[in-house]
Structure 1
């Protein structure tokens, strides 16, 4: 199992569609006893929260966010935790909106120290 996410800051490696999470978004993760949560903001996202569970290298969580235009949205994500050659954490994510149509994949990585 990859190391704990507690205290790590991660960011997407590529922009998603306009008005969503992008390379300027920062996720501050916490982890305790198989539970994960994070606060995130940046780019088009004013404030976001995610909460869920970790089982080995699999994360399963729900997220909700407030965007710059005042709209809110929510969804579900399953991620696989891997470790990069330099020791940083990478999450390979498959997500789907629950408050609107759509879904996709994304990658977020721990920011270098």
Structure 2
């Protein structure tokens, strides 16, 4: 059974503070995987997270939230020693089990590729 969501009544009001996410799917040009964990924080429309795992040694993102939408920039250090940065826009969805999912569209600023990804809350 596929998970459902209600983006109108719950995704705009759910807090991201303290939630932990992992990659579910990503474009081939992305570096986030199921081994990558994001630890989110939120305060008054400002969002930020620390992330690591898989190909990523350490990463940070910071941006803003407007209802069910996130807009942020990210930067990280990969296991090969290269740094990378980019921009991402996400739509927040709440799954039927109460977990949160982000559907993301991103673009590297440190190289030419773009892509889409999905990350979901883990418990």
Please show how residues 1-113 of structure 1 align to structure 2 within 5 Å.
1-14=12-25, 16-17=27-28, 20-111=31-122, 113=123
* Secondary structure of residue in 2 paired with 1:40: strand
- The question of whether the paired residues in 2 share the 8 Å contact of 1:14 and 1:107 is answered with yes
Q: CA RMSD in A?
A: 1.3
- The question of whether the paired residues in 1 share the 8 Å contact of 2:19 and 2:41 is answered with yes
Which is higher, the Rg of structure 1 or of structure 2?
A: 2
* Secondary structure of residue in 2 paired with 1:63: strand
Would you say how many aligned residue pairs link Structure 1 and Structure 2?
112
- The question of whether the paired residues in 1 share the 8 Å contact of 2:47 and 2:63 is answered with yes
Offset of residue 18 of structure 1? 7.0
- Provide the TM-score with structure 2 as the length reference: 0.87
- Provide the TM-score with structure 1 as the length reference: 0.94
Alpha-carbon distance in 1 for matches of 2:51, 2:39: 6
